[in-house]
Amino acid sequence: MATVKNWQLDRQMDYPYEEHRPKKQWAIVFDLNKCIGCQTCSLACKTTWTSGKGQEYMFWNNVETKPWGSYPLAWDVRVLEKLGYQHWDKNKPYSGKTVFEAADPAEKAVHFNPQDEDWMYPNRGEDDCTGNVSGGKYLTLPHDNWFFYLPRTCAHCTYPACLAACPRKAIYKREEDGIVLIDQSRCKGYQECVRACPYKKSMYNPYTRVSEKCVGCYPAVEEGKQPMCVQNCIGKIRIMGFINPPWNAREDNPVDYLVHKKELALPYYPQLGLEPNIYYVPPIHANREYLIQMFGPKVEEVIENYKKIKNDPITQGLLVLMGSTDNIIHRFKVSEGSAYAFDEKGDQIVRVPVTEPLFIRTPWDEKLGVIRNNTP
């Protein structure tokens, strides 16, 4: 085992390979306060990548309703139970064990092995809320019942468990963008990656008899475009870009800005130790204990930061850039009421008003001499 730096845990940890950070690291930020659970992202991925034989059950992108939804069945509950007690004091390094540190000597990572039936219910728990609904409580507002949608893709982790566990060295992380891929010609279908990935984002194809996973839409990324699940997001809750570690963060990089500069987004289940590269703006209405378990001890602070956006035109500008272009935004700026996005060469991709102009149409149109109303 090598000793590597995990900035999300604020400490060193054990990992089977030496630390190596790619030139650029693919990342997505999701604003969970805006996801409407429409599953357009799931279908955008499905129709692009997983409509072949043996892929029928696969959703490389899925959206689950938390706390009850999960695909495969109870994946996070089962991983967390195997990991055991995860101690993490606020503003201190994580003091529990990661999946690599808690593994038996014969294993690379603490894991569970999903069975066929675990993959059979991708919509389990969809739209189920938690809390007691009784005595007409559902008719009162505000109420205690809550749920939120959690869209998930592979996190193209800095320390992937799938890669660590592969005995064939068929899994690799690309130097140019940090995307984690399975070399289909080297894979022999042993499914060690399926067992080891705690997020359960490596999947076995029983027809081709090799494992597959989200490819980060690398052909689009190579062309400067965001992935299909991002481009097609109806709620405009996502932005894909390249994240730097905190010591190299750039203020004009949209992902660095949201994660490092403003501390509005957190990785999910960082205690597992993979340094996952999907980040979430936590939902402000959900149970805090649950959110702390999922996003770590900074949740409260991050939610408070989110509530301050109403007085922060720069962050407002960045949020309206989300979903405003198919291209990858490498740099952004906000000035005089407009938000600007730039590509890698520094050329402007898009400009959007931070606040949409409001036009009020009078019922009587002077020019045409007609009354306008909305009755057909």
- Map the footprint of ligand SF4 across residues 252-281, applying CB under 6 A: 274
Q: How near is the Cβ of 222 to ligand SF4 at its closest, in Å?
A: 13
Between the CA of residue 196 and those of 81, 105, 275, 304, what are the distances in Å?
Answer: 15, 14, 15, 35
Q: State the Cα–Cα distance between residues 330 and 338, nearest whole angstrom.
A: 17
Contact flag: residue 154 with ligand SF4 (CB under 6 A): yes
Nearer to ligand SF4, 87 or 186 (CB): 186
Site size with ligand SF4, rule: CB under 6 A: 43
Contact status: 108 vs ligand SF4 (CB under 6 A): no
As measured in angstroms, the least distance from the Cβ of 109 to ligand SF4 is 9
| Residue 8, CA distances (Å) to 75, 172, 224 in order | 22, 22, 27
CB of 151 to ligand SF4, least distance (A): 4
Nearest Cα neighbor of 81 from 107, 105, 114, 112 is 112
CA atoms of 266 and 276, how far apart (whole Å): 10
Residue 216 or 317: the one with the smaller Cβ distance to ligand SF4 is 216
Q: Is residue 228 a contact residue for ligand SF4 (CB under 6 A)?
A: yes
274 or 291: CB nearest ligand SF4: 274
162 lines the binding site for ligand SF4 (CB under 6 A): yes
Please, are residues 288 and 309 in contact by the beta-carbon 8 Å criterion? no
First to last CA, the chain: 71
| C-alpha–C-alpha distance, residues 69 and 149, integer Å | 9
Return the residue of 4, 35, 299, 334 that touches ligand SF4, per CB under 6 A. 35
Query: CA-CA-CA-CA torsion for 318, 324, 325, 330, nearest 10 degrees?
Result: 0
Q: Does residue 4 bind ligand SF4 (CB under 6 A)?
A: no
Per CB under 6 A, the list member of 180, 210, 318, 354 interacting with ligand SF4 is: 180
Interaction with ligand SF4 in 314-353: which residues (CB under 6 A)?
A: none
Q: Under rule CB under 6 A, which residues in 52-81 are in contact with ligand SF4?
A: 60-61, 63
38 binds ligand SF4 (CB under 6 A): yes
Q: Which stretch binds ligand SF4 (CB under 6 A): 1-9, 33-41, 204-212, 351-359?
A: 33-41
Q: Is 151 in the site for ligand SF4 (CB under 6 A)?
A: yes
> Cα separation of 8 and 245, whole Å?
9
Residue 160 beta carbon to ligand SF4: minimum distance, rounded to whole angstroms: 4
Residue 251 Cβ, how far from ligand SF4 at the closest point, in Å?
A: 26
Stretch in the footprint of ligand SF4 (CB under 6 A) among 34-42, 76-84, 139-147, 243-251 = 34-42
What's the min distance (Å) between Cβ of 227 and ligand SF4? 3
Kindly indicate which of the ranges 90-98, 123-131, 158-166, 345-353 contains the residues binding ligand SF4, using the contact rule CB under 6 A.
158-166
Q: Looking at beta carbons only, is 123 or 338 nearer to ligand SF4?
A: 123
Site for ligand SF4 in 183-202 (CB under 6 A): 197, 199, 201-202
Instruction: Report the nearest approach of ligand SF4 to the CB of residue 108 (Å).
Output: 11
Neighbours of 104 (CB within 10 A): 8
Per CB under 6 A, the list member of 155, 303, 321, 339 interacting with ligand SF4 is: 155
Q: Are 322 and 309 in contact (CB under 8 A)?
A: no
Q: Which residues bind ligand SF4 (CB under 6 A)?
A: 35-41, 44-45, 48-49, 60-61, 63, 149, 151, 153-157, 160-162, 180, 197, 199, 201-202, 213-217, 227-229, 233-235, 237-238, 274
